[in-house]
A and B are shown apart, each in its own frame.
Chain A
Amino acid sequence: MNKQIQESDFPNPEGHWELYWLPHQAMVRRTRRLASRIKLLKLEMSTKAAFSYFPGQFIQLSVFGYGEAPISICSSPENSNVFELCIRDAGNLTHAAHDLEPGDRAGVRGPFGHGFPMNQLKGKNILVIAGGIGIAPLRSLIQTTMANPGDYGGISVFYGAKKPADLLFIDELENLNAEDRLNLSTIVDEPDRQWPGRTGVVTDPLHEFKIGDPENTAAVIAGPPVMYRFVLMKLLEKEIPEDQIYFTLERRFECGMGKCGHCRLDDVYVCRDGPVFSYSDLRDRREFNEIKQDED
């Protein structure tokens, strides 16, 4: 176990050791405002090196001089050199990222982590459960399933947000719903006068949803930590197997490679070993259970 460092383990000074920290450059192709503090950025990698990713992976976005922030890729990996990031203006880096215009350049490291287990999802009915901006990584998954409809069973999207204006990508989701390619349930916590839909939390439509064959159903969840506990209770109630419930976890990711320590959850680094975990992987981890109990 205690392996000694060998001469061959040391990096060759002529080699590509610097890639560990040096971001690749990407050009901003398009920006679009999705909500008052949320923008969609379309980036194209400037490097010739192949850039490919899976739904659920994240990148480290650099705006030089402001630092880096981990952002989930929210587009389908079909055309991987061009990808989209959904960014909420909530901190130093994301504020700088909101100022980027088409033609500007940014830095990209990654992609990092394991994405959603697309192979295990094949053939299954999928419950996609999103809270707020949690729809971002799930949009990548939804687009992938839409591009390969024969590979998956029925897709049901449960999407909750605080206000109607916080529901992102709602046009494209409603179009897919209208075309019967997925089954969409939206719900908001604080409706306005124009809101024609339901008021409540995301577990409400989930509760009413009839699951015919739980063994052949998988659930993928992304949203604020507080949502996880209630969604999980509902899914277990509906007898979805524990190893078919997948969470994508948010943590403070700085290096992306299981070194900087910020994303540690007990014995795993969420950036390296996740950010997608099945509930069976998380069930016995103390620091996950404490969030579930919403102790803080």
Chain B
Amino acid sequence: MTYRTISITNLNRLFEYIIESKDLFAPKEREDQPGFYRFDRILKPDEITLSYGTTTIPPKAFFFPPEETLFTFSLSDEGAKLNPELEEAPFVLAGVHPCDLAAIEALDLALGQPPADHRWLFNRRRAVIIGVDCTPDEYCFCGSVNTLNSRNPADLFLTPVSGGYLVEIPTARGLELLSSVETFEAGPEHLEEAETRRKEKTAQLTAAFNRTSADIAGVLESGGFGDIWKELASRCYSCGSCNLVCPTCFCFHTDDRFELNLTSGHRFRSWDSCQFLEFALVTGGHNFRGLRRNRVRHRWRCKFLHLYKEFGRVFCTGCGRCSRACTADINMADVINRLVHESENHSETRPGKEG
């Protein structure tokens, strides 16, 4: 790993250089909601805020949009003519926090697993990713899921130090991009400052799991949490906010839409939520997760048990978005700690099968 330093002026020059030839997306304060940020198209470097909290919508949206056209069709007597729709222009995504980098890495595994989702991989290839270190708030629990200092798949990673940023350069694409502006070799004082900053960041984390993320799988597998799921289901509105803001959720729904002429249209896919009543409903009326408590339970088991078994990592990055977005104040870290507490304290009396 090579380390360089870059001044604020030169970093802005780098952003200007990017904007000249490519689309640049970075965190920008929302005009309609001051204090809230979103990844947006940047026209001038001073629109970017690199020291931001957490965006509501995770950056996965740039590789797996909330809604995307899979192909367009036009109908005639000879059949349907299909045209795949795919954006090819390269872009730069800047200002991605470690937890969101980890989420992209997790989705590389889930969507890249054969048969690979080519749309995800294709969009991933278009992008150069610039990460930036963050300042956690009371919802963040990245320290519990090993994403506190995630770097992959960033091409460049920035840590604020006096006079500018320390730049980590994990990839050749990052090095190539960075070579367009002046940078300096990082001295030991810069590395030390960055290390001090990381320690401060760790100390700032207040939310945490009481067990390691690897242990949570075992806790969930043991079952017997019927009362907890019932209580959560009594508060949950099945609104799906948790799924829609989650950086690692990847369930989707597909459907067709006709143009008004009824001879052409498109097939699209859009983000879906396992909390919706219709999610596991089949033709004929059977609903495989018709009970809200089973849908709530599925969310935790999917992220911390099923996907953990399949990919060796939990599909939670500690970003805290679901806890912030929940309309019923259900908090991810709190629920995990309740499950852990329940499994430790009532292991003899709990019924093994239910929940």
Asked if A and B are interacting partners, one says yes
- Interface check B45, CB cutoff 8 A: no
B316 to chain A, nearest CB (A): 15
In the complex with contacts A259-B111, A296-B287, A5-B153 CB distance below 8 A: yes
Q: Report the bound CA distance from A46 to B313 in whole Å.
A: 43
B65 to chain A, nearest CB (A): 14
- Residue numbers of A with Cβ under 8 A of B are 1-5, 9-11, 13, 17-18, 20-23, 25, 46, 62, 64-69, 88, 90-91, 94, 105, 107, 224-225, 250-252, 254-255, 257-267, 286-287, 289-291, 295-296
Give the residues in chain A near B267, CB-CB below 8 Å: 21, 62, 64, 67-68
Pairwise interchain contact B124-A5, C-beta atoms closer than 8 A:
yes
- Interface check B312, CB cutoff 8 A: yes
Closest chain A residue, CB of each to CB of B298: A264
A–B Cβ pairs within 8 angstroms, 12 of them:
A4-B153, A23-B82, A67-B267, A225-B288, A254-B252, A254-B253, A255-B252, A257-B117, A259-B250, A260-B253, A267-B309, A289-B353
Pairwise interchain contact B288-A22, C-beta atoms closer than 8 A:
no
Closest chain B residue, CB of each to CB of A27: B79
Give the residues in chain A near B309, CB-CB below 8 Å: 267
Give chain A's interface secondary structure class: loop
Contact with A along B95-118 (1 / 0, CB 8 A): 000000000010011111101111
A137 to chain B, nearest CB (A): 15
In the complex with contacts A2-B313, A267-B310, A88-B283 CB distance below 8 A: yes
- Interface check B280, CB cutoff 8 A: yes
Q: Report the bound CA distance from A184 to B42 in whole Å.
A: 70
Pairwise interchain contact A13-B306, C-beta atoms closer than 8 A:
no
Q: Report the bound CA distance from A252 to B121 in whole Å.
A: 25
Q: Report the bound CA distance from A295 to B272 in whole Å.
A: 25
B216 to chain A, nearest CB (A): 15
B286 to chain A, nearest CB (A): 5
Q: Which of B88, B124, B250, B282 contacts A250 (CB 8 A)?
A: B282
Give the residues in chain A near B289, CB-CB below 8 Å: 287
Q: Which of B79, B152, B262, B302 contacts A105 (CB 8 A)?
A: B79
B interface residues, tally (CB under 8 Å): 68
Q: Report the bound CA distance from A256 to B112 in whole Å.
A: 15
Pairwise interchain contact A20-B291, C-beta atoms closer than 8 A:
no
Give the residues in chain A near B84, CB-CB below 8 Å: 18, 21-22
Pairwise interchain contact B305-A2, C-beta atoms closer than 8 A:
no
Pairwise interchain contact A11-B88, C-beta atoms closer than 8 A:
no
Q: Report the bound CA distance from A4 to B152 in whole Å.
A: 8
One of B50-58, B67-75, B134-142, B319-327 at the interface: B67-75
Pairwise interchain contact A90-B288, C-beta atoms closer than 8 A:
no
Closest chain B residue, CB of each to CB of A25: B79
Pairwise interchain contact A9-B282, C-beta atoms closer than 8 A:
no
Pairwise interchain contact B262-A65, C-beta atoms closer than 8 A:
yes
Q: Report the bound CA distance from A1 to B110 in whole Å.
A: 12
Pairwise interchain contact A260-B112, C-beta atoms closer than 8 A:
no
B215 to chain A, nearest CB (A): 17
Give the residues in chain A near B124, CB-CB below 8 Å: 5, 10
Pairwise interchain contact A68-B80, C-beta atoms closer than 8 A:
no
Inter-chain CB contacts under 8 Å: number: 158
Give the residues in chain B near A4, CB-CB below 8 Å: 105, 108, 152-153
Closest chain B residue, CB of each to CB of A60: B254
Pairwise interchain contact A5-B112, C-beta atoms closer than 8 A:
yes
Pairwise interchain contact B122-A10, C-beta atoms closer than 8 A:
yes
Pairwise interchain contact A68-B254, C-beta atoms closer than 8 A:
yes
- Interface check B62, CB cutoff 8 A: no
Q: Which of A3, A18, A289, A295 contacts B118 (CB 8 A)?
A: A18
Pairwise interchain contact A20-B121, C-beta atoms closer than 8 A:
no
Give the residues in chain B near A263, CB-CB below 8 Å: 280
B245 to chain A, nearest CB (A): 17
Pairwise interchain contact B252-A261, C-beta atoms closer than 8 A:
yes
B296 to chain A, nearest CB (A): 14
Closest chain A residue, CB of each to CB of B281: A252
Q: Report the bound CA distance from A68 to B252 in whole Å.
A: 14
Q: Which of B116, B250, B301 contacts A11 (CB 8 A)?
A: B116
Q: Report the bound CA distance from A5 to B86 in whole Å.
A: 21
A22 to chain B, nearest CB (A): 5
Pairwise interchain contact A260-B122, C-beta atoms closer than 8 A:
no
B133-191 residues with Cβ-Cβ distance < 8 A to A are: 152-153
A128 to chain B, nearest CB (A): 21
- Interface check B128, CB cutoff 8 A: no
B263-303 residues with Cβ-Cβ distance < 8 A to A are: 265, 267, 269, 272, 274, 279-284, 286-291, 294, 298, 301-302
Pairwise interchain contact A1-B306, C-beta atoms closer than 8 A:
no
Q: Report the bound CA distance from A296 to B282 in whole Å.
A: 14
- Interface check B223, CB cutoff 8 A: yes
Q: Report the bound CA distance from A235 to B132 in whole Å.
A: 60
Q: Which 8 A-B pairs have the closest CB atoms?
A: A261-B251, A1-B312, A17-B118, A18-B84, A267-B306, A105-B79, A5-B108, A10-B125
